[in-house]
A and B are shown apart, each in its own frame.
Chain A
């Protein structure tokens, strides 16, 4: 039997086993790898560092449980940094499945930093119709969200006393598992001039580059690697940094499989010729 034919008959479960070993191994026996901070992450870092205590930041946690592994490390790192800088966080989600995630992340980060709900941060919850919500936030946050996630009147919340639209926000941070970062850039950035940065899934990251290159998004974190770079930059190693060993081993396996697969294909084609 030729090499190509033998490769074509490999049990796919062997490939699953290889991937399992490659990904699980570095989790059980951590590998320390150098992490170089890229320009887009450095720009993201600079935008956050430029904030002053008391500045209001709109944090859009726009993702659902399917991409938590990629985006929650970013959200945790960003929340820690924003709370450490004593900024005021106005959080929301434009995904119904994001409510529990956002609420959990906010409460855990607030507890770590001793922050008070309503004064240091607020969770506005989920609002249907993302386009309409993004546009209305430019007119009035309180009109768009008359109540927060817990039914409290937003007019009574101290954090929103002097903050009611994009003009009162120093930065928009969009942590997103879909195209919504692009829509934030179009509506909040394009229409209202809102300065923004984003954190995106790896699949989405490649579509964010044109927005970053054209200055519509000032910096961004792409996938778990982006999270690891940001964690490294703020000297707070977390899930992102811990996942880099598995990422590297997984990629090595994929590259080897691509090479072996192509070698088998070429061998089979030569044999047929």
Chain B
């Protein structure tokens, strides 16, 4: 069994959180509130150090002539806090507008290319690039699935006849996608439980796994 106090604290807090599985209780509440409080403190310090100290105070102090413009960003950031006072809340719109405009500027072209154009290209060219019969089959199924799913979301035509058949095939592809997503989610959640058990058995109890 571990002699490290930090391991003991972690293990007891883990058990406190697990106690919720039996029922709601004060020990669980304590651990939950502690997590929220410690996280908030950690994030405030980390954001302040990384954002304000490293990106504003230090550069401006070191070379005001080159980095003085950073103060403009600092003032914009401070204006965000104007939302705390009703009469000054309107001032917060300026940094928000600045942030949204800059974000949209570099977000839209890059994401459109990566998430739409390149993926359309990849889907359409996959059959031609297939090296084996199975790869060709997979590529054709994928292309058919994409088209059928798109038809399902095309509401300008009534889903009857041939369109209805393709639309129903689209639902099947979507269901398979959701099923795969659920399977991966289960795997992710079980992994988190494995992580906690490995910690409790190995690091805390020293079972030497």
Task: Give chain A's interface residues, CB within 8 Å of chain B.
Answer: 13, 16, 19, 23-24, 27-28, 30, 66-70, 96-97, 99, 125-128, 131-132, 135, 146-147, 182, 185-187, 189-191, 201-203, 205-206, 210-211, 213-216, 222-225, 239, 242-243, 246-247, 250-251, 254
Contact = CB atoms under 8 A, between A and B. Distances in A.
A210 B146 CA distance: 11
Q: Which 6 A-B pairs have the closest CB atoms?
A: A69-B195, A214-B122, A186-B114, A202-B188, A96-B46, A250-B190
A93 B129 CA distance: 36
Interface stretch (B50-58, B86-94, B166-174): B50-58
B190 A23 contact: yes
B50 A190 contact: no
Given A27-B209, A69-B196, A190-B110, A128 B47 contact: yes
A69 B55 CA distance: 32
Interface string B86-120: 00000000000000000100110011011100110
B172 to A, nearest CB: 17
A186 B115 contact: yes
Given A27-B194, A210-B122, 13 more contacts: A23-B194, A69-B191, A69-B192, A69-B195, A97-B43, A128-B47, A147-B54, A186-B111, A186-B113, A202-B185, A214-B121, A224-B191, A250-B190
18 contacts: A28-B209, A67-B192, A69-B191, A96-B43, A96-B46, A127-B55, A128-B50, A146-B59, A147-B54, A185-B114, A191-B110, A203-B181, A213-B119, A223-B188, A224-B187, A243-B194, A247-B194, A254-B186
B194 A206 contact: no
B113 A190 contact: yes
Q: How large is the interface on B (under 10, 10 to 19, 20 to 34, 35 or more residues)?
A: 35 or more
Nearest to A29: B209
A177 to B, nearest CB: 10
Given A190-B114, A214-B119, A223-B187, A243 B50 contact: no
A28 B142 CA distance: 42
Nearest to B142: A213
Given A19-B193, A239-B198, A128 B110 contact: no
B207 interface: yes
A247 B191 contact: yes
A147 B65 CA distance: 19
Contacts of B46: 96-97, 99, 126
B37 to A, nearest CB: 15
A28 B201 contact: yes
Contact of A70 (B177, B180, B186, B192): B192
B191 A223 contact: yes
Interface of B: 21-22, 39, 42-43, 46-47, 50-51, 54-55, 58-59, 103, 106-107, 110-111, 113-115, 118-119, 121-123, 126, 142, 177, 180-181, 184-188, 190-198, 201, 207, 209
Contacts of B193: 19, 23, 246, 250
A28 B191 contact: no
A131 B106 contact: yes
Chain B at the A interface: SS class: helix
A189 B188 contact: no
A251 B107 contact: no
A131 B102 CA distance: 10
Nearest to A222: B184
Contacts of B39: 97
Contacts of A202: 184-185, 187-188, 191
A87 to B, nearest CB: 26
Contacts of A27: 194, 197-198, 201, 209
A242 B208 CA distance: 13
Contact of B114 (A28, A216, A246): A216
A239 B191 CA distance: 10
Contacts of B181: 203, 206
A185 B110 CA distance: 9
**Residue of A19, A70, A182, A189 with most chain B CB atoms under a 10 A cut-off:** A70
**Residue of B50, B111, B196, B197 with most chain A CB atoms under a 10 A cut-off:** B197
